[in-house]
Amino acid sequence: MGYTVTVVAPVNIAVIKYWGKRDEELILPLNDSVSATLDTSVMCAKTSVSASPEFTEDVIWLNGKKESFSNKRLQNCLREVKERAAAEGSVDKNFLSWKVHVCSENNFPTAAGLASSAAGYACLVTALAKLYKVKTDVSSIARLGSGSACRSVYGGFVRWHAGSDPSGVDSIATQIASSTHWPEMRALILVVGDSKKKMSSTKGMKITTETSELLKHRIKHCVPQRTTEITKAILARDFPKFAEITMKDSNQFHAVCLDSYPPFVYLTEVSHTIIELIHSYNEICGETKVAYTFDAGPNACLYMLESEVPKIFKIIKTIFPSSDPTKFISGLPINDADV
């Protein structure tokens, strides 16, 4: 006897980056961030959650490997879902006492700066919320697993509001526009390296928050204005403006990593080659046609409109002839999340 729910959740790639926390336990960010949610057909996490009176302990299998459920973030997510379910009276008390088995898989490299924790926790929390029939906003529960996960709960373009309440009640994600708003938008992921990153985002953010002067300037003087402007650019489907802000924010994020003490670097020589390539391409076009953005790893995400995809594909294959073409994942329409 028991119940099982299976859910698929998408990756999101930030165009205004989240970097730095004001509360590490509740995962409350220092600044708002904005992202686009990618199609689940190419990159996604898949999670099944089962509850049964026969289970004797909470267990999780991550990409086929049994992991400890003693991880505080996992426990926080499960506890919050159960507390909400109890408060909403959505399931009976007996069901809440049953243990859970979780099985989660990513179809892309884990912890290589490809937003695996975002998709993973969004998936886990959405599956748990379905299992326990939670009706209230789940983005704030996903946030307890991994900050960026709260943005993967919605499709299209999403804003995570930093909020100001110490409880985190207003630190939630909302949708700026659905995927149908800008159907020509494409994201192309270039996998530069798929090894696990040396500096985890959580640790890197802590060092930056404690030591970087540039981060203070970024939070006060750059992010608020960029967030307003990129929201306008998305709503107006103004690609050159969207692209310029995206690239500047990626560059500033990597600059704050270098401004941290001790400094850490996520970009490699290949990442820098891609940056130069995109600027050269845009210059030759006489207009900004493609944007790059890099998370906490060397892999590039290129945003462009559909008409640009074949040209960019050709150029990438010409410049990196020895690369494994299967590592260049094709353009992704940004669909609504099917979580």
The contact set with ligand 2P0 (CB under 6 A) reads: 14, 17-19, 27, 33, 117-118, 146-148, 201-202, 253, 295-296
Q: 27 or 185, CB closer to ligand 2P0? A: 27
Pairing label, strands 99-106, 59-62? parallel
Please state the closest distance from residue 313 (CB atom) to ligand 2P0, in A.
25
Please state the closest distance from residue 295 (CB atom) to ligand 2P0, in A.
4
User: How far apart (Å, rounded) are the C-alpha atoms in residues 192 and 315?
Assistant: 16
Please state the closest distance from residue 235 (CB atom) to ligand 2P0, in A.
20
Residue 110 CB burial class (10 angstroms; 0-12, 13-18, ≥19): middle
Is residue 339 within 8 A of residue 10, CB to CB? The reply is: yes
Is residue 172 within 8 A of residue 139, CB to CB? The reply is: yes
Please state the closest distance from residue 117 (CB atom) to ligand 2P0, in A.
4
Q: 146 or 252, CB closer to ligand 2P0? A: 146
Is residue 163 within 8 A of residue 170, CB to CB? The reply is: yes
Please state the closest distance from residue 285 (CB atom) to ligand 2P0, in A.
27
Q: Which residues lie below 8 Å from residue 47, measured CB to CB, with a gap of 6+?
A: 6, 7, 9, 102, 103, 104, 105, 120, 123, 124, 126, 127
Is the omega angle on the peptide bond into residue 262 within 30 degrees of 0, that is, cis?
A: yes
Please state the closest distance from residue 283 (CB atom) to ligand 2P0, in A.
26
Please state the closest distance from residue 253 (CB atom) to ligand 2P0, in A.
6
Going through 143-278 in order, the beta strands assigned E by DSSP cover 157-160, 173-177, 185-190
Q: 117 or 175, CB closer to ligand 2P0? A: 117
Is residue 66 within 8 A of residue 245, CB to CB? The reply is: no
For the chain, how many residues are written?
339
Pairing label, strands 44-52, 59-62? unpaired
Q: 27 or 91, CB closer to ligand 2P0? A: 27
Please state the closest distance from residue 118 (CB atom) to ligand 2P0, in A.
6
Q: 245 or 296, CB closer to ligand 2P0? A: 296
Q: 27 or 309, CB closer to ligand 2P0? A: 27
Is residue 301 within 8 A of residue 115, CB to CB? The reply is: no
Q: 34 or 51, CB closer to ligand 2P0? A: 34
Please state the closest distance from residue 18 (CB atom) to ligand 2P0, in A.
3
Letter string b/e over residues 287-319, b meaning 16 or more CB atoms within 10 A of that residue's CB: ebbbbbbbbbbbbbbbbbbeebbeebeeebeee
Closest CA to 160 of 146, 85, 266, 9: 146
Q: 17 or 101, CB closer to ligand 2P0? A: 17
**What one-character DSSP code corresponds to residue 328?**
B
Q: 90 or 202, CB closer to ligand 2P0? A: 202
